[in-house]
């Protein structure tokens, strides 16, 4: 799969006369350095959490396309709060994260409620909420939450140093790994790992997870078995939105320290891509997040060798499309094989019971 999309990208390169070998070489070079890997891990952590947010919904066939709006809303309010509240460092961090997750959950819960009460399609609902979020956030950023000290760009007040999430460099030093001064491994990575573990345990080992997956597999059967569809939708959307908000915190607390015009815009959609690529499984999403981040980092090094860095985006895009198709085809083949296997074991003639 990776091979197919890489070759498509290679073709895209060759046509205008660039060399794929140089391109991919430069990309790998840019990733394989210490600072490269650190950046990749930092990005991957945030994509991972966002991917899990989306995957939670996907597990019950609930397409939460609204993660963009959810994390932005969460980050806006969290950023405003963190900048303004003058509480002690760690408490501030906890509250900030809490606000982000709460707002994300609320923003996600609204379309969930619309689905449950008025049967509004969740895809349409979340897309609409995205649109509303854009306008609403622009408005608030311009008026209420604006940092008055900066007249050039609009952003919330900068978060004081003690309210930021620390980095892991010192721990790494302890283990013997020395990083260059400018590269910092974000501690959000730990949060991401925690999220992954919780995701696995909840979805695959708990009874709630069973109900969740049952609803995704056959909603009618799940309902007849005692699972309340409405409850599932509301709980899942809340979790999904909360996780989306959490993902935004990696940028707010580890990197930008303020919410504003320069905040990344497409994190929500990247999360969707990562969830799809990773086939909604805890480990799959991790790999997908890593791959996406690696491609992103790699393409930063392309400009130096005179190759348009957008090839990275194309690689990501084609990878997604190819993967999605491949998964569908694999599903189909899997079904036919399963039937063949099951009936092959039975005695001839008894197969038509």
Give, as ranges, the residues between 62 and 101 that touch other proteins (CB under 8 A): 63, 65
Asked if residue 330 binds other proteins (CB under 8 A), the reply is: no
SS3 186: strand
> Which 19-58 residues touch other proteins, going by CB under 8 A?
none
User: Is the Cβ of residue 73 or residue 191 nearer to other proteins in the bound state?
Assistant: 73
Stretch that binds other proteins, among 70-78, 163-171, 282-290, 340-348 (CB under 8 A): 340-348
SS3 113: helix
Q: Give the long-range contacts of residues 277-282, CB within 8 A, separation 24 or more.
A: 277/319, 277/320, 277/323, 278/51, 278/55, 279/327, 280/55, 280/58, 280/59, 281/55, 282/52, 282/196, 282/197, 282/199, 282/200, 282/203
Spatial CA neighbour of 250 closest among 236, 241, 263, 262: 263
> Which 180-199 residues touch other proteins, going by CB under 8 A?
none
Least distance between other proteins and beta carbon 176 (Å): 39
Q: What distance, in Å, lies between the first and last C-alpha atoms of the chain?
A: 39
Spatial CA neighbour of 43 closest among 302, 270, 262, 258: 270
User: Is the Cβ of residue 128 or residue 198 nearer to other proteins in the bound state?
Assistant: 128
Out of 39, 70, 72, 130, the only residue in the binding site for other proteins (CB under 8 A) is 130
Asked if residue 316 binds other proteins (CB under 8 A), the reply is: yes
> Which 210-239 residues touch other proteins, going by CB under 8 A?
210-211, 213-214, 217-218, 220-228
User: Is the Cβ of residue 173 or residue 218 nearer to other proteins in the bound state?
Assistant: 218
CA dist 346 and 349 (Å) reads 8
Out of 28, 190, 197, 205, the only residue in the binding site for other proteins (CB under 8 A) is 205
User: Is the Cβ of residue 185 or residue 295 nearer to other proteins in the bound state?
Assistant: 295
* Helix axes 20-31 and 2-14, enclosed angle (nearest 10): 120
Out of 28, 88, 90, 139, the only residue in the binding site for other proteins (CB under 8 A) is 139
Least distance between other proteins and beta carbon 236 (Å): 16
Asked if residue 313 binds other proteins (CB under 8 A), the reply is: yes
Asked if residue 120 binds other proteins (CB under 8 A), the reply is: yes
Six token digits for residue 81: 């709060």
Six token digits for residue 200: 């696995």
Q: Count other C-beta atoms under 10 Å from residue 25's C-beta.
A: 14
Least distance between other proteins and beta carbon 28 (Å): 20
- Letters for 7-26 (x = contact with other proteins by CB under 8 A, - = none) are -----x---x----------
CA distances from 180 to 33, 36, 169, 267, 298 (A): 11, 11, 9, 27, 19
Which residue shows structure tokens 């919904």?
A: 57
Asked if residue 136 binds other proteins (CB under 8 A), the reply is: yes
User: Is the Cβ of residue 167 or residue 268 nearer to other proteins in the bound state?
Assistant: 268
User: Is the Cβ of residue 42 or residue 316 nearer to other proteins in the bound state?
Assistant: 316
CA dist 75 and 248 (Å) reads 6
Asked if residue 267 binds other proteins (CB under 8 A), the reply is: no
Q: What is the 8-class DSSP label of residue 260?
A: B
Least distance between other proteins and beta carbon 35 (Å): 25
Asked if residue 128 binds other proteins (CB under 8 A), the reply is: yes
Out of 118, 149, 152, 176, the only residue in the binding site for other proteins (CB under 8 A) is 118
Asked if residue 170 binds other proteins (CB under 8 A), the reply is: no
């Amino acid at each position: 799969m990776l091979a197919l999309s890489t070759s498509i990208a290679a073709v895209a390169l060759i046509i205008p006369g660039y060399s794929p070998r140089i391109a991919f070489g430069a990309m790998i070079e840019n990733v394989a350095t210490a600072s490269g890997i650190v950046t990749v891990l930092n990005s991957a952590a945030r994509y991972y959490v966002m991917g899990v947010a989306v995957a939670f919904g996907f597990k019950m066939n609930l397409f939460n396309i609204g993660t963009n709006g959810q994390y932005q809303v969460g980050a806006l309010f969290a950023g405003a709060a963190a900048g303004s509240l003058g509480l002690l460092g760690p408490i501030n961090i906890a509250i900030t994260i809490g606000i982000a997750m709460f707002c994300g959950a609320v923003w996600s819960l609204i379309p969930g409620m619309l689905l449950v009460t008025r049967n509004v399609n969740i895809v349409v609902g979340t897309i609409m909420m995205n649109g509303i979020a854009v306008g609403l956030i622009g408005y608030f950023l311009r008026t209420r939450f604006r940092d008055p000290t900066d007249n050039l760009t609009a952003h919330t007040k900068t978060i004081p140093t003690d309210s930021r999430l620390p980095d892991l460099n010192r721990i790494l030093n302890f283990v013997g790994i020395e990083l260059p001064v400018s590269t910092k491994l974000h501690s959000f990575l730990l949060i991401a790992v925690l999220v992954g573990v919780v995701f696995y345990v909840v979805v695959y080992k708990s009874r709630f997870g069973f109900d969740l997956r049952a609803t995704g597999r056959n909603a009618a059967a799940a309902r007849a078995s005692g699972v309340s569809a409405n409850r599932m939708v509301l709980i899942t959307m809340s979790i999904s939105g909360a996780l989306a908000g959490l993902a935004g915190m990696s940028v707010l607390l580890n990197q930008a320290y303020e919410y504003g015009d320069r905040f990344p815009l497409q994190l929500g959609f990247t999360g969707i891509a990562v969830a799809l690529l990773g086939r909604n499984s805890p480990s799959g999403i991790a790999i997908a997040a890593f791959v996406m981040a690696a491609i992103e980092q790699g393409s930063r090094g392309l400009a130096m060798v005179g190759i348009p860095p957008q090839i990275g985006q194309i690689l990501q895009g084609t990878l997604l499309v190819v993967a999605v198709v491949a998964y569908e085809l694999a599903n189909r083949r899997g079904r036919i094989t399963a039937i063949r296997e099951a009936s092959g074991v039975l005695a001839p003639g008894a197969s038509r019971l």
